Amino acid sequence: MQQVWTLRSILQWTSEYFSKKGIDSHRLDAELLIAHAVGLDRIGLYRDFDRPVNESERALIRSYVQRRAQFEPVAHILNSRGFWQHDFYVDNRVLIPRPETEELIEYVLKWLKDHIDPRIADVGTGSGCIALTLADECKTAECIGFDVSEEALEVAQKNAQLLNIKSDFVKSDLLEKAEGLFDVIISNPPYIASDVIPTLMPDVQQYEPLLALDGGPDGLDCIRKLVPQAIDHLKPGGLLIFEIGYDQGPSASEICLNYKELKEVEIHKDYAKQDRFITAIRTDA
């Protein structure tokens, strides 16, 4: 007798298959892909565990499974990644938003509490997840996302439209094309050292844009360029905040400490207790 596939059995099979392929998040990935293919959310999947899966759904699941088995990220297969309150459109033109970056958002929102009509620059906006989240959370803010990649800006614009959030996007190498002064300059720059890139998971290495990852020999090239530009574009008392790698706290804060225009330079840890971002305040001088 031919086997009848149910959501339960196909989930079980897919999860084991991913596990054998060396995918750490095998169960979660199987759930996300299968739920999407049959038009349910993850809770629905468990509620309808014994529901049979028809042939056309199985064909779609099969194509998703094959792609994931080649290490294509789930976010690319589904063209979607949740960040803060929204699902962002993503594809291989941009970095996939990471949950760690939400910790910078949290910091900025707290910091902005007493500011009226702030101007915010998001440098290397990629999918636009930072600029759009801040614009959405802080309705009086003027947010501008900068990116050197035309392709990334297309994705950011698409997200602004899909989510119906207003933010401007400008093609610019870091802040080169920025005009005027900002209350907040935020960035998740490429900060991975070039020789570490070949050791990254194939999901990242083969599918995410090198431009969004590669920070030069020690990973700090962009940060070294960004800091003096940010000094020129921050209001006195304005906040510079940027993401770093787990081992870059001392070296990245050192770069800031070299400028007398910056004070209160601090290294912040993420929820996993790793160095994750730097903050500094523009002096009045």
Contact residues toward ligand GLN (CB under 6 A) are 95, 97, 101, 124-127, 129-130, 188-190, 212
Nearest to 5, CA basis, from 57, 67, 40: 57
Q: Which is nearer to ligand GLN, 65 or 153 (CB)?
A: 153
Q: In terms of Cα–Cα distance, which of 140, 132, 90, 134 is closest to 115?
A: 140
Find the shortest distance in angstroms from Cβ 44 to ligand GLN.
Answer: 29
Query: Which of 54, 161 has the CB closer to ligand GLN?
Result: 161
Element (H, E) at 223: helix 221-233
Q: Under a CB-based contact definition with an 8 Å cutoff, are residues 278 and 242 in contact? A: yes
172 half-sphere exposure, CB direction, 13 A CA radius: 19
Q: Which is nearer to ligand GLN, 33 or 212 (CB)?
A: 212
Q: CB of residue 33 vs ligand GLN: minimum separation in angstroms?
A: 22
CB of 173 to ligand GLN, least distance (A): 13
User: In the complex with ligand GLN, which residue's Cβ is closer, 64 or 191?
Assistant: 191
- Collapsing DSSP to helix, strand or coil, 41 comes out as coil
CB of 49 to ligand GLN, least distance (A): 35
**CB closest to ligand GLN, residue no:** 126
Least Å distance between CB 126 and ligand GLN? 3
- Closest CB to ligand GLN among 99 and 237? 99
Main-chain phi, psi angles of 47, to 5 degrees: -65, -40
Distance CA 20, CA 8 (A): 19
CA-to-CA separations, 84 to 81, 105, 136, 194, 196, in angstroms, rounded? 10, 9, 10, 29, 28
CB of 175 to ligand GLN, least distance (A): 14
Closer CB to ligand GLN, 50 or 150, in the complex = 150
